[in-house]
A and B are shown apart, each in its own frame.
Chain A
Amino acid sequence: MHYVIIGNGVAGINAANQLRKRDETSSITIISKESDHFFSRTALMYVLCGQMSPSDVEPYPRDHYQRMNFTRVRDEVVALSPSETSLKLSSGETIQYDRLLIASGSMARSAGWPGEELDGVGNFVTWQNLEWLTEKSRTAKKAVVVGGGLIGIEVAETLLAAGIEVTFLIREKWFWPIAMDQNEGLMIIDHMRHHGCNVRLQTEVKKIISQEEKVTGVEIGDGEIVDCDIVVATIGVVPQTGWLVESGIELDKSGGIVVGDHLETNLPNIWAAGDCTSVVWFNGIRRPEQLWYTSRDQGRIVGLNMSGDKRVYKRSTFYNSAKLFDIEYTTAGYVNFNFEGEQNWYHREPDTNRTTRITYLPDGSVTGFNMLGRRWDHRILVDWVDEKRQLDWVLQNLHIANFDEEFFPSFKIDTQALKSGVV
């Protein structure tokens, strides 16, 4: 049996590990165009800022592939031919598979700005992007970061720390509206400004200005020009599946590979996992889940399924965490799904950037938590959401889920605030 895995990301490597666990003898080939070793994409910013070396962000020892007897191919797959069960590589070679996993991840969404192709304009998703930005940040004086999401804030923070003047252009009214409400999003904006980041809200790029192929600025909505030497576009990611369009694999309208409950595609002996995959969410809507955690879980399950299991991939209750400059963020449950009649319990600890937001339904059962400035044990919060705990009970017991470092100022909500409900 020859298993072929396209993608050396978290989905691909987890699938490969599970396959090897089940099957010690079959040959397993991992194809990646990006890197020889699996690295943590989430840690790109730490290499950019010099906090870690490139090899520090490799989660497994270098000899992992040898020990597991994985064959690696460093090349780009350009076409899939299901009828011949083969892949075509950019080098012209073909690879035959018995069972195939597509875990090709996502790629930066193209912005479509005039001037986007210039050398001073780039993204921050791949290892090659990291090398590009590392090089540019050595000489750049001013940078424009476009797109108010997680990757954008990571890039802005890192470039600022490198002494570069950063203008952060955000299209929306506050930072990261798919995760934050107005209070939270504006608090983060204040915090960024406090750190010297020049944030412009409700601003979009019209075009890139350049002189002799060198970026000199960007023109924004009202015709104003913001000077800069580099532009980093972080306006989202899309499934990296363009090369599959003619293969007969079913893609959804975002380009995600449509899979069934077992992460199988519409074609025999082909599975998909990770960012490139479109799955059905808890609310019945089909779309990709572009997260480290879901990619990892999908990889583990698909590995077992490829070796003969029939496990259902069912996304557990949502959770995520992030660090926004130095403000830690944890979310659990469903805070931004606007359930009918949903209400917010919101509290900001006086004179701090520590906030607590709990969403709940008219019957009092909590649906989600959005927490900033403290650490929380998402496992407990997720359980409370699953158990449909009452808001009153949750507020009384919230300290149980606190996960702050020892000696961190302890979590207390004064009883007045508790009673009034609106804080």
Chain B
Amino acid sequence: MQAGLLQTYNNSAQRRGAGAWIIASLLFAFYILIYFTEAFTPVAHAIGLSGKWNLYGILYTIAILSGGLYFFKRHGNSRYHRYRTISVMLVQTVFAFSIPWFMELMQTRGFIFSLFWPLKIDYFYPSYIMEYPLPVILYAILGSLIIVPIATFLFGKRWYCSWVCGCGGLAETAGEPFRHLSNKKPGAWKFEQISIHTVMLLALITSAIVLINWGLGKEVNGVMVPMYPAFSTVVFKIQGIYSFFVVALLSGVFGVALYPILGSRVWCRFFCPLAAYMGLIQKLGRFRVTVKDDMCISCGNCSTYCEMGIDVRMYAQNNIDVKRASCVGCGMCAHVCPRGVLKLENKWDPNPMAEESKIKVFDL
């Protein structure tokens, strides 16, 4: 029994009751207003901020910090959880909030060092990234193409999703009361495989054509002008569509507003293109949740509290290590398991797909 999780099912706001729908509606309204209107601009100005996004940054950071303290109360008895929660709180405060803020004070555009393409698709848009000094440009490119895959191969995607990322950070802290609401049905898993890889493909295509369009530009009197204006128009349209549907709607509005209904990792599980990219590497990499054979009592705590909707129990009761692309390595399954069956590990595995293939065996 984990003290923090008691009464989860006796609290209607955590069980998709009326309270849950109220919270979801408020979040939904907030996100619509902040993304698509200027309603919060006067508020920001009134408290001396330069614009609505600064206000949003402050609120977001407060949500992660206060949610983090709440998380500590619930799961602070585990070091793994303490460390990773401190990490997301620090990263949010320092890298996502303070450094960009400071850069803006210095009259340069803020840069968030804890974000990577394709989550932050702008980092591969030349018009955006070329405004930064060379080291920052190199950081953005090498970060996505070198640091991300290597770190993911070594430690699994958890190094990012549960220790660094702002979206994950919010899910792990303010989203904590809703983690058990993720859908565990096989259908949700199928949907996830299709949706997340589709978004990844869209991100790739969008980035590619934006780059091509830029490459095709020519300089006339020091100004870049497109060589094929018709193509450029299409590219700008696609860029706009991506940023409306994926960035604003999926990662912002629905990603957060649906916390009380579908759990805290809707964006991360179904849509995040960076998660998809790291997931593919994770399957070949070292990270896994090791299952101690024959010790599972099929109680279901692990599956219930998996925010990614992985039916961990199905693996545990069949003695199969969990190597799933979607696992963000939050460690909650291992933490709540009353029989100590599960352990997150980075372990070299010569045949990374072997365990996964067992799951198809007619054995359930």
Contact = CB atoms under 8 A, between A and B. Distances in A.
Interface range on chain B (Cβ under 8 Å from partner): 35 or more
Nearest to A158: B1
A59 B362 CA distance: 15
B79 interface: yes
A269 interface: no
A261 B344 CA distance: 39
B294 interface: yes
B340 A328 contact: yes
Contacts of B6: 49-51, 161
B356 interface: no
A269 B170 CA distance: 59
B154 to A, nearest CB: 14
B265 interface: no
A405 B301 contact: no
B293 A379 contact: yes
B1 A45 contact: yes
A292 B297 contact: yes
Contacts of A408: 78-80
Interface in B299-347: 299-301, 303-304, 313, 317, 331, 334-335, 338-340, 343-345
A407 B331 CA distance: 12
Q: Contact residue range for chain A?
A: 35 or more
A403 B300 contact: no
A110 interface: no
A56 B298 CA distance: 10
Select the residue from A61, A322, A403 with max chain B CB neighbours within 10 A.
A403
Contacts of A21: 362-363
A127 interface: no
Contacts of A330: 340
A378 interface: yes
B145 to A, nearest CB: 28
Interface in B1-26: 1-3, 5-11, 15
B1 A10 contact: no
A161 B344 contact: no
B360 interface: no
Given A51-B1, A378-B295, A17 B301 contact: no
Contacts of B11: 50
Contacts of B15: 53
Interface in A370-408: 375-379, 403-408
Nearest to A38: B298
B136 to A, nearest CB: 33
B77 interface: yes
Contact of A49 (B1, B80, B293, B299): B1
A384 B212 CA distance: 63
B199 to A, nearest CB: 27
A57 B301 CA distance: 8
B186 interface: yes
Given A40-B298, A46-B299, A53 B9 contact: yes
Interface string A342-378: 0000000000000000000000000000000001111
B185 A51 contact: no
A59 B334 contact: no
B47 interface: no
Q: A21, A43, A51, A408: which has the most chain B beta carbons within 10 Å?
A: A51
Contacts of A113: none
Contact of A42 (B3, B79, B298): B298
Given A56-B300, A321-B340, A51 B292 contact: no
B157 to A, nearest CB: 16
B9 A51 contact: yes
A47 to B, nearest CB: 8
Nearest to A55: B300
A2 interface: no
B331 A405 contact: yes
B107 to A, nearest CB: 42
Interface in A400-419: 403-409
B301 A46 contact: yes
Nearest to B336: A51
Interface string B42-86: 000000000000000000000000000000000001111001000
Contact of B338 (A10, A64, A323, A378): A323
A319 interface: yes
B106 interface: no
Interface in A76-114: none
Chief secondary structure at chain A's binding surface: mixed
B364 interface: yes
Interface string A178-219: 000000000000000000000000000000000000000000
Contacts of B304: 51-53, 56
Q: B1, B9, B79: which has the most chain A beta carbons within 10 Å?
A: B1
Contacts of B343: 375, 403-406
A232 B139 CA distance: 63
Contacts of A323: 1, 338-339
Contact of A326 (B77, B295, B363): B77
Contacts of B344: 405-406
B362 to A, nearest CB: 6
B348 to A, nearest CB: 16
A244 to B, nearest CB: 27
A51 B301 contact: yes
Contacts of A50: 6-11
Contact of B1 (A46, A56, A403): A46
A324 to B, nearest CB: 10
A60 B185 CA distance: 11
Contacts of A60: 364
A264 interface: no
A8 to B, nearest CB: 14
A407 B2 CA distance: 19
Contacts of B5: 51
A330 B362 CA distance: 31
Given A40-B298, A57-B299, A51 B2 contact: yes
A209 B331 CA distance: 48
B310 to A, nearest CB: 14
Contacts of B340: 321, 328, 330, 375-376, 403
Interface of A: 10, 17, 21, 40, 42-43, 45-46, 49-53, 56-61, 64, 157-158, 161, 292-293, 297, 319, 321-323, 325-326, 328, 330, 375-379, 403-409
26 contacts: A21-B362, A21-B363, A43-B297, A46-B299, A46-B301, A50-B7, A51-B7, A51-B9, A52-B8, A52-B299, A57-B300, A59-B298, A59-B300, A61-B185, A293-B294, A319-B295, A323-B338, A325-B1, A326-B77, A379-B293, A403-B292, A406-B79, A406-B343, A406-B345, A407-B80, A407-B83
Interface of B: 1-3, 5-11, 15, 77-80, 83, 185-186, 292-295, 297-301, 303-304, 313, 317, 331, 334-335, 338-340, 343-345, 362-364
